[in-house]
A and B are shown apart, each in its own frame.
Chain A
Amino acid sequence: MSIHRTRATALRVLRQLRHDPRTIGLLLAVPCVLQVLVRALFADRPSVFKSLGVPLLGLFPFVAMFIVTSITMLRERTSGTLERLMTTPLARGDLLVGYAFAFALVAAAQATLVSALSFGLLGLDAGHRPVSVIALAIANAVLGMALGLFASAFARTEFQAVQFMPAFVLPQILLCGLIVPRDEMAEWLRVISAFMPLTYAYDALARLASPDELTVRFWVDVAIVLGVTIVALALGAVTLRRRTP
């Protein structure tokens, strides 16, 4: 791996995004609009807004980066640019880490904007932990990016890649505890959700939203999110083959 090539790849991905201002606009505006809707929905129940708003802040970047990465990587595979890169000295790690940096930066912008809106205008309260919420949102974005990258290897067309969003992401959102607390789920659902990385991402965010002291369980959650990200990146690297059939 080389820092120079990794940096060049991150800059290239960001330049591609820069030429697509509409996507940037959507990435930044959509979570803000959704957060406003959630706020309006629970206008007279601020405690519900609080318990939903903080986790949502951290989950938007996960979903957005999953989609953006799986499509970008699929394009890279189908347009032949990946094949060209595989004939150059670029290491697979350069490509993956370059992607991770670029999308982490976009996620940081997204999370900061939605946080500013939520904690400022919408009156969301995360105690004294807004910076931790943003940091977790970025970690979740990189997790989404890593899973999207891995998923893209199984898509042949952009239609399929888009369908991976409901297939990979929706079950995790349903079961992570956001909609029904995990303690209240049927045993088999709880077992399934224990194998889903978003469960731990949600749990960490929910702990940040609560006024209780952070326990070791919070750090276990964070470690699991980071660990799964690394495993997903490694699996993604396996799907990037220099030689293909």
Chain B
Amino acid sequence: MDAAISIRDLRVVRGGREVLHAVDLEIEAGRVTGLLGPSGSGKTTLMRAVVGVQVVAGGSVSVLGLDAGTPSLRERVGYQTQSPSVYADLTVDENLGYFASVLGATRSRVADVVGRVGLDGLEHQLAVSLSGGEHARLSLAAALLSEPEVLVLDEPTVGLDPVLRRDLWAFFHELAVGGTTLLVSSHVMDEADRCDALVLLREGSVLVSGTPEGLKQATGAVDLDAAFLSLIDEADGERP
């Protein structure tokens, strides 16, 4: 498999503190890769580096063979920030219409993504009047407009009900089957099982990466929660 995202020795300093320590990572194309870790572990910073909006202190991030943040990548990489980054005082349709213009997507594509995230019938609602889940899906819809080859989603399922979460994960896999590379962060471990590949981030370093099955086998644990715990204990045990 080709790597869609390739990170070498990435270091990021924020507020005088190093928050990512020499991260090396390969994200395979056409897969759903879960980026897991407690809050504060550096997930958002890593994702911001991938979409090219993070000032980095060292190392390299390459996306689809180009340096992250290269202008030609801006139509090929979709990004959903953790808090819904849409205009609260515009309707669903106006929000998506604007982002579509900016991304060079067609009007028919707007109707298409509205359907994909299940916001049909809410086109003329102001974003501020949407529920938390609808708001998050509007933000996701905006990231889908350009039919990106790489989709970076920061905690897209936070606060959603179980049915919606299941549907969204099914949708992510549908996109991956279509060739999209997805990097999806979560701090909920039970979402790990839904991913094709996993990266566990802890205190700014990659603790482990691999497939869910591989991790369970390597640790001899019955579920991923137990596998992660044993990996964390092991890492702590190695500390001086």
Which A residues form the contact surface with B (CB < 8 A)? 4-5, 8-9, 11-12, 15-16, 19-20, 79-81, 83-90, 94, 242-245
Contact = CB atoms under 8 A, between A and B. Distances in A.
Tell me the interface secondary structure of chain B in the complex: loop
A212 B168 CA distance: 71
Interface of B: 13-15, 51-55, 69, 71, 74-75, 77, 79, 81-91, 94, 98-99, 101-104, 126, 142, 146
Contacts of A80: 81-85
B99 A88 contact: yes
Contacts of B101: 4-5, 8
Nearest to B83: A80
A89 B85 contact: no
Contacts of A5: 101-102
A11 B90 CA distance: 11
B74 A89 contact: yes
A52 B14 CA distance: 51
A129 to B, nearest CB: 38
B89 A242 contact: no
Nearest to B103: A88
Contacts of B87: 12, 16, 79, 81
Given A83-B85, A89-B74, A19 B90 contact: yes
B102 A88 contact: yes
A102 to B, nearest CB: 12
A79 B85 contact: yes
A88 B90 CA distance: 19
Given A80-B83, A89-B74, A244 B90 contact: no
A113 B18 CA distance: 55
A74 to B, nearest CB: 14
A89 B54 contact: no
A94 B98 CA distance: 13
Nearest to A82: B85
B74 A87 contact: yes
B53 A244 contact: yes
B55 A15 contact: no
**Central interface residue in B75, B81, B89, B90, by most chain A CB within 10 Å:** B89
B71 A89 contact: yes
Contacts of A84: 79, 81, 85, 99, 142
**Central interface residue in A12, A80, A83, A84, by most chain B CB within 10 Å:** A84
Question: Would you list the 9 A-B pairs with minimal beta carbon distance, nearest first?
Answer: A80-B85, A8-B101, A12-B98, A84-B85, A80-B81, A89-B74, A87-B79, A90-B102, A243-B55
A39 B98 CA distance: 43
A69 B81 CA distance: 24
Contacts of B83: 79-80
Contacts of B88: 79
30 contacts: A5-B102, A8-B101, A9-B98, A9-B102, A11-B98, A12-B90, A12-B94, A15-B94, A19-B89, A19-B90, A79-B83, A79-B86, A80-B82, A81-B86, A81-B87, A83-B81, A87-B74, A87-B79, A88-B74, A88-B99, A88-B102, A88-B103, A89-B103, A89-B104, A243-B53, A243-B55, A243-B69, A244-B55, A245-B14, A245-B55
